[in-house]
């Protein structure tokens, strides 16, 4: 593993942005790294890049460290990009990292979509594409840093928004579901919704879900990353579809 740290106009306390690249072709790695650094230089932020040439090395490293964005080759020689992606999402339960798949072909297997990649890029990778990926991943990272504050039994508590799978209301109480725990506080979804980031949408009178934790969506139900299945009630269906399209294409 080679590590390269670049400091452009480093500000005190600014978190370092971490980008990983995993491809068995050394040239592709170098090309992407160059573009990533070029983007960081133009947009004056601090950035660290990590390069791996095999999926195994990447998996081993990810068990110990975190990344904000990963460029991952689909056609790795020993382990496929699908297996690595599955390991990241299912084994490590690492949901907030943006994965961008790179490949020479533009033909994709259904399995890849279950890993919820940020996007797909085709080799040879273009600068504009890389720039766009980092821009949207940075926006994601900024959103993931937001913290949800609540009050229960006179005590204040906090949870990072990225860990919240969904809010479920139950009789003037709201359950905050994360993959690890459930917290209950008093409140109404109606008052809660306006203060949430835009990746939270209401799908039912008593459910608000985090789109980043949505595994799949049928027209009448969604499946979340913690395995729960929630129904989309009739009056919300049209609006849910509209919001998902909006969220997907960005604005």
Q: Which residues bind other proteins (CB under 8 A)?
A: 105-110, 112-114, 116, 119-120, 215-220, 238, 241-242, 244-246, 248-249
Q: Which residues neighbour 217 within 8 Å (Cβ) at sequence distance 6 or greater? A: 223, 244
By C-beta, is 59 or 125 nearer to other proteins?
125
Beta strands (DSSP E) in 188-228 are: 200-204, 207-210, 214-217, 221-224
* Least Cβ distance, residue 244 to other proteins (angstroms): 7
Contact indicator for 35, 131 with CB cutoff of 8 Å: yes
* Least Cβ distance, residue 128 to other proteins (angstroms): 11
By C-beta, is 126 or 190 nearer to other proteins?
126
Alpha carbons 72 and 85: distance in angstroms, whole number: 8
Token pair in block for residue 100? 């961008």
Alpha carbons 13 and 8: distance in angstroms, whole number: 14
By C-beta, is 5 or 221 nearer to other proteins?
221
By C-beta, is 114 or 143 nearer to other proteins?
114
* Least Cβ distance, residue 251 to other proteins (angstroms): 10
* Least Cβ distance, residue 95 to other proteins (angstroms): 14
Residue entry with tokens 């660290």:
48
């Amino acid at each position: 593993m080679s590590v390269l740290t670049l400091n452009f106009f480093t500000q005190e306390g600014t978190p370092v942005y971490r980008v990983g690249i995993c491809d068995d072709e050394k040239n592709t790695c170098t090309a992407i790294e160059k573009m990533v650094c070029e983007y960081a230089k133009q947009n004056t932020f601090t950035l660290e890049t990590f390069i791996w040439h095999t999926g195994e090395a990447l998996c081993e490293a990810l068990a110990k460290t975190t990344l904000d964005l990963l460029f991952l080759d689909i056609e790795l020689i020993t382990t496929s990009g699908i297996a690595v992606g599955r390991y990241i999402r299912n084994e490590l339960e690492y949901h907030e990292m943006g994965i961008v798949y790179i490949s020479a072909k533009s033909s994709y297997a259904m399995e890849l979509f279950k890993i919820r990649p940020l996007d797909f890029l085709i080799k040879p990778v273009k600068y504009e594409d890389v720039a766009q990926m980092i821009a949207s991943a940075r926006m994601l990272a900024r959103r993931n840093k937001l913290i949800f504050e609540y009050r229960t039994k006179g005590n204040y508590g906090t949870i990072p928004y990225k860990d919240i799978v969904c809010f479920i209301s139950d009789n003037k109480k709201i359950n905050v579901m994360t993959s690890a725990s459930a917290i209950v506080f008093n409140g109404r979804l109606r008052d809660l919704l306006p203060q949430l980031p835009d990746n939270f949408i209401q799908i039912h009178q008593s459910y608000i879900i985090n789109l980043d934790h949505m595994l799949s969506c049928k027209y009448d139900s969604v499946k979340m990353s913690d395995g729960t299945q929630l129904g989309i009630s009739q009056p919300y269906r049209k609006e849910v579809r509209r919001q998902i399209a909006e969220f997907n294409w960005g604005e």
